[in-house]
Amino acid sequence: MKLLPFFQPLKPLKELSTFQIGGPARLFTEVTSIEEMQAVLSHAFSEKIPFFILGKGSNCLFSDEGFDGLVIHNKISYLNIDQNIVDAGAGYSFSVLGLKTAKANLGGLEFASGIPASVGGAVFMNAGANGSETFDLLEEVTFVDEKGDLFVFSKKDLSFGYRFSSFQHKKGAVVSAKFALLSSPEARNKQLSIIQYRKKTQPYGDPSIGCVFKNPPGLSAGALIEKTGLKGLAVGGAQVSKLHANFIINGGGAGSEDVLNLAREVQALVEQSTGITLEMEIRCIPYRT
């Protein structure tokens, strides 16, 4: 198997995850341009190397064994604002995007402030909060497929739903996204209000990967877990946050199995108590795909 010279072996994935969990990737590289992403994906395809695209590592639970393939860290990070059209690289911070657009008096992405995702990750998962979703003001997405070919998808070409996008059924990488925002003198105040509320209600100081479970239709997963009395429940080093019940935090030395076992226990106890089955929102990345 041929390897590109900038591939790094045995990169600890816990260093790239907000959960601080994960063994080593067999191969690792960073890409900073669309052209680099095309070259890396084309190479991985020709050499039959399994790959995983990583953004901020804020929604991924890596195995303690690591990943038996190539982890590609998407660092395509640029931002262009032309009147109300916002063009951002997939590696750009989604939270900073919410801040910068609000400061420019552009409304629609205020909810992004405080979401620890990349733009590409937000598009891939259709991240949302406060009644808004990434898809709402999205105009187009540039995507590189597994062979390294470049595609530009308009909004009408794509399917989105609650924590779902059609990119979850495509092999490749989101490399940029364009949004058409709205003029809003109140955007900055709204953004500040959102971030202040999140800091009060979510465990920002603890290692986590955000909300673990999707909200059932018309309900709050966090409220169901709290109602079942599971705040503070722990398995090994993993613990249900005492501040927000839909967060599992790494209390120190937690492994992926601790998190999974705790999540399964929460699912079972909530279903036993309420009859509702919670569905996982986080992505569990196995050692082998």
The CATH number that applies at residue 44 is: 3.30.43.10
- Give the Cα separation of 251 and 255 in Å (integer): 10
One-letter-per-residue 3-state SS of the chain:
CCCCCCCEEEEEHHHCCCCCCCCEEEEEEEECCHHHHHHHHHHHHHCCCCEEEECCCCCEEECCCCEEEEEEEECCCCEEEECCEEEEECCCEHHHHHHHHHHCCEECCHHHCCCCCEHHHHHHHCCEECCEEHHHHEEEEEEEECCCCEEEEEHHHCCEECCEEHHHHCCEEEEEEEEECEECCCHHHHHHHHHHHHHHHCCCCCCEEEECECCCCCCCHHHHHHHCCCCCCEECCEEECCCCCCEEEECCCCCHHHHHHHHHHHHHHHHHHHCCCCCECCEEECCCC
Do 65 and 85 belong together in one domain? no
pLDDT for the residue 277: 98
163 is catalytic: yes
pTM of the model: 0.96
Q: Do both 92 and 170 map to the same domain?
A: yes
95 with 177, same domain: the answer is yes
pLDDT of residue 6: 76
Taking a C-beta distance cutoff of 8 angstroms, is the pair 153, 173 a contact?
Answer: no
pLDDT at 17: 97
Give residue 110's Cα distance to chain centre.
17
Residue 183's beta-bridge partner residues? 106
Contacts of 215 (CB under 8 A, 6+ apart): 162, 221
Query: Is there a single domain that holds both residue 146 and residue 70?
Result: no
Find the catalytic residue in 211, 264, 265, 284: 211
119-165 pLDDT per residue, tens: 999 999 999 998 999 999 999 999 999 999 999 999 999 999 999 99
**Residue 216 domain-assigned?**
yes
Active-site annotation holds for 188: no
156 in the same domain as 125: yes
- 280: in domain: no
Write out the residue range of the structural domain in which residue 217 sits: 204-273
Selecting among 36, 133, 163, 198, the annotated active-site residue is 163
Same domain membership, residue 26 and residue 94: no
User: Is 141 within a domain?
Assistant: yes
Any domain includes 61: yes
Residue 90 shares a structural domain with residue 181: yes
Q: What is the pLDDT of residues 214-251, one digit of tens each?
A: 999 999 999 999 999 999 999 999 999 999 999 999 99
Q: Is the domain of 236 the same as that of 177?
A: no
- Provide the pLDDT confidence category of residue 4 given band limits of 50, 70 and 90: confident
**CB atoms < 10 A from the CB of 198, how many?**
18
Work out how many domains the chain is built from and give that number: 3
